Amino acid sequence: MRTLPLLMLPAVVLGACTQTQAEVERAQVRDSEVQAKLAKELAGLVPGKPETCISQFPQKQSSGYGATILYRVNSGLVYRSDTVGGCEGIARGDILVTRTPTGQLCRGDIAQTFDQASRFPTGSCSFGAFIPYRKP
């Protein structure tokens, strides 16, 4: 009698971890919307050679598009970094915090995101290479 619940446990756990088709479709729609917004931001700009580090100064405006962060230096220069980890929260307004002693953001540096209201951490990620996008 006791073995039956134990045998059912893996099936219950596995069932709780699966996504429904509707959830998968919503995620795909959300991803395509993010990619469309990112393409719109970079429209008319030409990608250059990836850079390992960029200066933090002067202050740059950052915005998030899924796992991608854009740093707008001015109207003619935007840096793109595809992150690894969980910094997607800046797309909804979370604060991106970096701790770099050199005054530069570099590929592999760790950043954290924090909720603006509660100041609780919401994620962290590692920067990818910084690809400059310039006006032709």
State pTM to two decimals: 0.79
Give the whole-angstrom CA distance, residue 98 versus residue 134: 25
Percent above pLDDT 70 for the chain: 86
pLDDT of 35-88, one tens digit each? 999 999 999 999 999 999 999 887 778 899 999 999 999 989 999 999 999 898
Per the CB < 8 A criterion, the answer to whether 54 and 129 are in contact is no
Give the residue, 45 or 7, on which the prediction is more confident: 45
